[in-house]
Amino acid sequence: MCGIVAAITNGLDARASVLHGLKTLEYRGYDSAGMAVHTGDSKLAVRRKMGKIANLEAELASNALPESDQVIAHTRWATHGAPADRNAHPHTDDGGEIVVVHNGIIENYLDLRAELVADGHVFLSDTDTEVLANLIARHMRNGNGGIDLHTAVRTALTEVHGAYALVAMCATEPGTLVVARQDSPLIVGVGDAAHYAASDMPALLHLTRDFVALENGESAISHADKMQLCSASGDWIERETTLCDWTPEQAEKGGYPHFMLKEIEEQPDVLARTAFDRFHDTEGDVVFEDTFTLTDADLRALRRIRFMAMGTSSHSAMIGRWLLAEFAELPGETLNASEFLYSPILPENDTLTVIVSQSGETADSLRAMRELQKRGGRILGICNVQGSTLAREADDLILTHCGPEVGVASTKAFFGQVTALYLLAIRVGRARGVLSTERGLELLHDLRALRPKLDSLFAPEAMAAVRQAAAFLATVPSCLFLGRGLQHPIALEGALKLKEISYIHAEGYPAGEMKHGPIALIDEHFPVVVLATPDRTYEKMISNIEEVRARSGKVIAVGVAGDQQVQNAADYFLPVPEVPPYLAPLVNVIPLQQLSYEVALALGRDIDQPRNLAKSVTVE
């Protein structure tokens, strides 16, 4: 949802490194991109272009910006104002004195704009950000020369309702960048005689691995050699930097044609990184880091567990609910985080809420977390991004160790989340005394044994089967994904993956629902993807396959390699290795990710940056 990068250095030209960082953030939005520099002679220069960053690069090649040690840049996911050059960031005030990049939504921008127009300000875009630039400029001018950029930004922000992460620069205040945030992510990177700012750490990994995350309401003044952090109440504060353990290579494609393919293939390593170091191999238990402060007594006192998330993360949350019931006998529910605020308010006594989020910046999930904390609820975050808002604000935290996920379609993050949820179920089950040491040891053994089994999913035969099914699926306008029990969330995830990157309409259903409506859609042009691996739903899934075939529907089935019954019944068969049923989600999701990837490839879609989407949805 818009990406911001900025740099201020001690005389070194920062244009190339900011552009490099911006490309790393393109997954956050790709409706337009722009860059602004301070020219050193009390002037600002701006270039902006509709469309992807490649268009901005072409513009910069023909109409270069001057070298500068003070650069800000932006890649946009349109909210206010259609994708167009004039709506692209950075935005300046009408005097060309202030320039701003912004991620978020200024909810009262129309009122503010009307006031500014009445004051004689002229607007050239439809955006809320141009309002911010003019508001800051108005405060600077009203200051009779006595107000600096930071004071003007802070004063302007007192008039604003909504969410923002912003970087501002002023023509008459060289050597200074001002950053501020409220409900949209922003981190400051600390370099050697340089400071940086970005929406997300991967954008700065080529420059630094030392970061300071801004909390809500905070702002900062960045010079090349120092950064002054200011609290929401206006006090100067000190904060240690945090070292990020991601490497710059993890945020690169590494020879793969798409991030999505690279990230699908990284999943066996994600299993090892997220799980194995946390095993307690003599106790049949799991040991989390000290960000997990829930004691055995806390876990025993729980009566209910609630999972909340959005999108793909809500599918892993559904699996989490099932695992906690199965292995820890803890009943619970899964709620869509955006719906939570509109649900009846129940007492929070003895309830733990688990918020699952790859980015830790999803606005709906954060809003639900804060609302619950206000009601006295306790939050456990499961998150991939160290230092993100969820990671910082949740009461307890389990980090997944997936490395940066860049493809907009989430793959390895889902895998890491489900892995972390297995660990959580084991930990809670052991703490509550419902999981014996022996059973705990078996579960750890099964997880460890899973890793080599995953290799067969990437073997040439398996990939050939996926490509065959994909060649067929790429010809249909619509399809259904069916699964029962633990496979229902995988059916939902398969359908989400397919629709978001191929634009083929797909719905996931609990297989038992098929006869209650969706069956009416089935004919020779309407295929069904079925999850039919061995568990207590197997016989019923075979019946579903027959029902589809009886109506001339084509079946793509995920089944265990060598399962003749499923293979013979299906038109396309995607073989998976046999694993204990409770681990099947981690296996079965992979051919569905590969299937959607291959369908999107066959259709020539923009796989890593599908239309209309953004990686982190930081607005509600």
Site for ligand M6R in 477-506 (CB under 6 A): 496, 500
Closest residue to ligand M6R, judged by C-beta, is 311
Cβ 203 to ligand M6R shortest distance, Å: 16
CB atoms within 10 A of CB 428: 26
Of positions 194, 409, 426, 498, contacts ligand M6R by CB under 6 A: 409
User: How are strands ordered across the β-sheet holding 236-237?
Assistant: 91-92, 98-106, 162-170, 177-182, 219-222, 227-230, 236-237
Of the CA atoms within 13 Å of residue 593, those in its CB half-sphere come to: 28
Least Å from the CB of residue 553 to ligand M6R: 26
**Site for ligand M6R contains 311 (CB under 6 A):** yes
Q: Is 615 among the residues known to form the active site?
A: yes
Which residue of 454, 617, 618, 619 would you call a contact of ligand M6R, by CB under 6 A? Answer: 617
**40 burial level (CB within 10 Å; 0-12, 13-18, 19+):** middle
Q: Tell me the closest approach of the beta carbon of residue 496 to ligand M6R, in angstroms.
A: 6
> Is the CB of 176 or the CB of 609 nearer to ligand M6R?
609
Three-state DSSP at 356 gives: strand
Q: Which segments of 119-208 does DSSP mark as H helices, in order?
A: 129-142, 149-157
CA atoms of 506 and 596, how far apart (whole Å): 11
Sign, CA torsion 40/46/52/58:
negative
Per-residue contact string for residues 267-296; x = within reach of ligand M6R by CB under 6 A: ------------------------------
Contact string 530-569 vs ligand M6R (x = CB under 6 A)? ----------------------------------------
DSSP designation for 158: T
Point out which span in 310-318, 508-516, 534-542, 562-570 binds ligand M6R (CB under 6 A): 310-318
Asked if 127 is part of the footprint of ligand M6R (rule: CB under 6 A), the reply reads no
Nearer to ligand M6R, 312 or 334 (CB): 312
- CA nearest 172: which of 98, 95, 226, 89? 98
Q: Provide the 10 A C-beta neighbour count for residue 291.
A: 15
In this structure, is the dihedral angle defined by the CA atoms of residues 170, 167, 40 and 236, taken in order, positive or negative? positive
Least separation in angstroms between CB 199 and ligand M6R: 13
367 CB neighbour count, 10 Å cutoff: 16
**Is the distance from CB of 109 to CB of 80 less than 8 angstroms?**
yes
| Binds ligand M6R by CB under 6 A, chosen from 68, 75, 313, 588 | 313
Specify the residue, 9 or 274, whose C-beta has the smaller distance to ligand M6R: 274
Q: Taking the complex as a whole, how short is the minimal distance between the CB of residue 413 and ligand M6R, in angstroms? A: 6
DSSP annotation of 183? B
Cβ atoms of 545 and 572 within 8 Å: the answer is no
Nearer to ligand M6R, 480 or 617 (CB): 617
Find the shortest distance in angstroms from Cβ 17 to ligand M6R. Answer: 26
Quote the CA–CA distance of 615 and 310 in Å, as a whole number: 12
Q: Which of positions 431-470 make contact with ligand M6R (CB under 6 A)?
A: none
* Annotated catalytic residue within 2, 170, 230, 479: 2
In the window 363-392, what residues touch ligand M6R (CB under 6 A)? 365
Q: How many chain residues bind ligand M6R (CB under 6 A)? A: 17
User: CA quadruple 355, 358, 359, 363: dihedral positive or negative?
Assistant: negative
Element housing 556 (H / E): strand 555-560
Q: Which is nearer to ligand M6R, 274 or 357 (CB)?
A: 357
429 binds ligand M6R (CB under 6 A): no
- In the complex, minimum distance from the CB of residue 244 to ligand M6R, in angstroms, rounded to a whole number: 17
Per-residue tokens: 355: 């918020």
- Minimum distance from CB of 87 to ligand M6R (Å)? 23
**Closest CB to ligand M6R among residues 87, 410:** 410
Based on CB atoms, which residue is closest to ligand M6R, 368 or 428?
A: 368
Q: How far is it, in rounded angstroms, from Cα 31 to Cα 255? A: 26
Q: Candidates 307-315, 446-454, 514-522, 564-572 — which segment interacts with ligand M6R by CB under 6 A? A: 307-315
Residue 169 dihedral angles phi and psi, to the nearest 5°: -135, 150
Residue 69 in tokens: 């040690």
Q: Taking CB under 6 A as the criterion, which residues in 344-363 touch ligand M6R?
A: 357-359, 362
In three-state secondary structure terms, 461 is helix
List, by residue number, the catalytic residues.
2, 615
Which spans of this chain sit near ligand M6R (rule: CB under 6 A)? 310-313, 357-359, 362, 365, 408-410, 496, 500, 613, 616-617
